[in-house]
Amino acid sequence: MKRVAKLVSRTPPEGLTDWSPVRDDLEFWGLVYESVWVPDNGLDVLLDDWAAPRKRKVVEVRCSCCGESRIMPWVKTDKQHGGYGFLQEDERSGETALIRSGDDSVCPICGEPVRVKKAAEVGQGYFVTDETRAMSASVAGMDRYLVLTGWTVQRRVYRSARAELRVIPAEAYVFARESCWKLMGWRNSYSGTAGYSVSYYPEWHEPEKWSESWGAVQEIYGLTQSLVERSCLPNCKLDVYMESFRAEKAKYPVMYLRLYQARRSVENLLVSGLPMVLDDLLYKVYHGYRWPEANIHGNIPMALTPMTELRWNTLAPSRMLGLTREELRLGREQCWGLFLWRLFVRTKAQGERLTGEDMRNAALLGDQNLLELIGQGPVPKSIRYLLKQQECYDWADPYVAEEDYEELGEPIPGAYADVTTLLDYWRACRTLGRNLDDNQVRFPRNLLEAHDAAFEQQRVMENEVMAKSLASRFRIRRRQLAKYIFAADGLKIIPAGSERELQREGDLLHHCVGSYAARHAAGGAAIFFIRRTVEPWTPYYTLELDEKTLTVRQNRGLRNCGKTREVQAFEDLWLSWVRVGAKRDERGRPVLPEKGQEAWSA
Residue 260's H or E segment, with its range, is helix 253-262
Instruction: Assess whether pLDDT exceeds 90 at residue 3.
Output: no
Given CA atoms 55, 58, 64, 67 in this order, what sign does their dihedral have? Answer: negative
Average pLDDT of the segment spanning 305-327: 89
DSSP letter for 67, please: -
Instruction: Assess whether pLDDT exceeds 90 at residue 205.
Output: yes
Contact 48, 32 (CB under 8 A): no
Q: What is the pLDDT of residues 441-463, one digit of tens each?
A: 999 998 988 998 998 998 888 77
The region, left, alpha or beta by phi > 0 then psi within -120 to 50, assigned to residue 207 is: beta
Average pLDDT of the segment spanning 210-229: 92
Q: How many CA atoms lie within 13 A of 187 on its CB side?
A: 9
Q: Say how far apart CA 580 and CA 285 lie, in whole Å.
A: 16
Choose between 517 and 395: higher pLDDT.
Answer: 517
pLDDT at 507: 92
Q: Say how far apart CA 510 and CA 500 lie, in whole Å.
A: 15
Nearest alpha-carbon partner for 25 in 153, 143, 140, 149 = 153
Q: Say how far apart CA 304 and CA 385 lie, in whole Å.
A: 41
**Residues 6 or more apart whose Cβ sits within 8 Å of residue 325:** 318
Choose between 288 and 358: higher pLDDT.
Answer: 358
Strands in 526-532's sheet, in edge-to-edge order, are: 486-488, 491-495, 526-532, 541-546, 551-556
Which pLDDT band holds residue 159 (cuts at 50, 70, 90)?
Answer: very high
Nearest alpha-carbon partner for 452 in 428, 420, 436, 435 = 428
Which pLDDT band holds residue 294 (cuts at 50, 70, 90)?
Answer: low
Which pLDDT band holds residue 219 (cuts at 50, 70, 90)?
Answer: very high
DSSP letter for 310, please: S
Average pLDDT of the segment spanning 145-173: 96
Distance of CA 16 to the CA centre of its chain: 27
What phi and psi values does residue 590 have, to the nearest 5 degrees? -60, 140
Task: Kindly report the number of other CB atoms within 10 A of residue 141's CB atom.
Answer: 14
Average pLDDT of the segment spanning 415-419: 74
Instruction: Assess whether pLDDT exceeds 80 at residue 287.
Output: no
Instruction: Assess whether pLDDT exceeds 70 at residue 47.
Output: no
- Give helix 338-349 / helix 275-287 axis angle, nearest 10°: 100
**Residues 6 or more apart whose Cβ sits within 8 Å of residue 336:** 274, 276, 277, 344, 359
pLDDT at 600: 45
pLDDT at 596: 43
Instruction: Assess whether pLDDT exceeds 50 at residue 399.
Output: no
**Residues 6 or more apart whose Cβ sits within 8 Å of residue 545:** 484, 526, 528, 551, 552, 553, 578
pLDDT at 108: 92
Nearest alpha-carbon partner for 31 in 73, 59, 1 = 59
Strands in 55-63's sheet, in edge-to-edge order, are: 96-99, 84-89, 69-76, 55-63, 29-39, 113-118, 104-106
Residue 146: beta bridge partners? 139, 175
pLDDT at 49: 61
Percent of the chain with pLDDT over 70: 87
Long-range interactions of 183-186: CB distance < 8 A, separation 24+? 183/4, 183/5, 183/8, 184/210, 185/10, 186/152
pLDDT at 368: 87
Average pLDDT of the segment spanning 51-67: 86
Percent of the chain with pLDDT over 90: 61
pLDDT at 41: 64
Q: What is the pLDDT of residues 566-583, one digit of tens each?
A: 999 999 999 999 998 898
3-class secondary structure, 86 = strand
Q: Write out the DSSP string of 488-530.
A: ETTEEEEE---HHHHHHHHHHHTSSGGGGHHHHHHTS-EEEEE
Task: Kindly report the number of other CB atoms within 10 A of residue 543's CB atom.
Answer: 22
Instruction: Assess whether pLDDT exceeds 70 at residue 315.
Output: yes
pLDDT at 489: 87
pLDDT at 458: 85
Instruction: Assess whether pLDDT exceeds 50 at residue 505.
Output: yes
Average pLDDT of the segment spanning 361-383: 92
Contact 460, 449 (CB under 8 A): no
DSSP letter for 115, please: E
Which pLDDT band holds residue 588 (cuts at 50, 70, 90)?
Answer: confident
Nearest alpha-carbon partner for 585 in 568, 564, 599, 573 = 599
Instruction: Assess whether pLDDT exceeds 70 at residue 547.
Output: yes
Which pLDDT band holds residue 484 (cuts at 50, 70, 90)?
Answer: very high
pLDDT at 595: 47
Distance of CA 352 to the CA centre of its chain: 34
pLDDT at 397: 47
pLDDT at 408: 52
Q: Say how far apart CA 305 and CA 296 lie, in whole Å.
A: 12
Which of these ranges, 86-90, 206-210, 388-392, 509-513, has the smallest mean pLDDT? Answer: 388-392
pLDDT at 53: 65
Average pLDDT of the segment spanning 115-128: 93
Instruction: Assess whether pLDDT exceeds 80 at residue 393.
Output: no
Nearest alpha-carbon partner for 380 in 413, 356, 412 = 356
Instruction: Assess whether pLDDT exceeds 50 at residue 121.
Output: yes
3-class secondary structure, 339 = helix
- AA letter at 437: D
Choose between 346 and 293: higher pLDDT.
Answer: 346
Q: What is the pLDDT of residues 78-110, one digit of tens each?
A: 877 678 999 998 777 778 889 999 999 999 999
pLDDT at 306: 60
Instruction: Assess whether pLDDT exceeds 90 at residue 468.
Output: no
Choose between 80 and 123: higher pLDDT.
Answer: 123
